[in-house]
Amino acid sequence: MNFNVGTGTFGRVLLVRLRGSSAHTTANCFALKVLRKTEIVRLRQVEHVNAERYILSRVRHPFIVDLYATFQDSLNVYMLMSYVPGGELFTHLRRAKRFTADVTRFYLATIILALKYLHSFNIIYRDLKPENLLLDSRGYLRLTDFGFAKIVDDRTWTLCGTPEYLAPEIIQSDGHGKAADWWACGILCYEMLVGYPPFFDETAYGIYEKILKGKIYWPREVDPLSKDIIKAFLHPDRSKRLGNLIGGSQDVLDHPWFRGVDWDSLERREIRVRSSHPPVSRCSSYLLLPCIFRHPSSRMLRPWTTRATSRTFPFPPPRRYPDSSARSARHPFSNGSIPSPTNS
């Protein structure tokens, strides 16, 4: 059995299961990423594919997709990964228009734990956005697409990412590191709360100009505490940016916006996530919708179907907001094992 569940610039993702296993459970289902070698070479993405394989084979975290095996033949490179059935957060967000503060807090908390884990091994992700966040069968987010991830001791000068999520230091070619991921957290938090990113324009250069100017429009529905954490993430001076201060990622966990979050229970996935659908056991596309974090949400989020995306290089065209729901296509692609997080 195999179904095409995603198509990208130079490959596709198939839903597969172990031969002879039951089709009535997802336990033996996997996502098989198939990458055409000719397209990888033509688009000069050999380094990105190698980086994705190297990093994913060495990380294990409940909020990061698992890479089980890689192999190749004369035509393709194959990556056997965990099947995350809930689809992209992007599709979920577009259908819901925007999330409540509680839903945003839940989603952002999982991403912060994933980034904290990666940063502890000097891995910067560099491609945070709703398209790269998948919902698993229990309603938790999982980070995917590590084509731009890189092990960096201090700074790197590679220009890559999605225009709306680029930190000022990337645009200005000043060298960037972990602080760029925390900037992207601020953009993601704003987009989840408002429905579109704080800096958008018809052209990529227009987006860059607005990022450097740093002027943000604040809708009335954004509460003061949410505004405070977003501003802290989006500080133009990376030495004063939340997550990049002397306290590191712990400063993010201790921010008042996250007051009451049980971080250990969250990382162990012990937080109960309410769903608008009964549990699904068949090995097919299905969805489980998280609607609360600590408090019941006033709005139940509607279901969606999985969607294929692709990425162009080096940057995709900017998105059109707020009247267009279509986002441009995107999809790229010291030795030793990195240990699993404690209590995970």
Among 119, 228, 129, 229, CA closest to 179 = 119
Distance from C-alpha of 148 to C-alpha of 55, rounded to nearest angstrom: 10
Among 301, 278, 317, 343, CA closest to 106 = 301
Please state the φ and ψ torsions of residue 261, each to the nearest 5 degrees: -75, 130
Distance from C-alpha of 69 to C-alpha of 130, rounded to nearest angstrom: 26
Instruction: Establish whether 237 is a catalytic residue.
Output: no
- Whether residue 34 contacts residue 12, with contact meaning beta carbons closer than 8 Å, is answered with yes
Burial class for 136, CB neighbours closer than 10 Å (0-12, 13-18, 19+): buried
Distance from C-alpha of 195 to C-alpha of 164, rounded to nearest angstrom: 13
142: β partners: 134
- Whether residue 222 contacts residue 194, with contact meaning beta carbons closer than 8 Å, is answered with yes
The active-site residue out of 66, 127, 136, 145 is 127
Distance from C-alpha of 343 to C-alpha of 284, rounded to nearest angstrom: 30
Q: Which residues belong to the active site?
A: 127
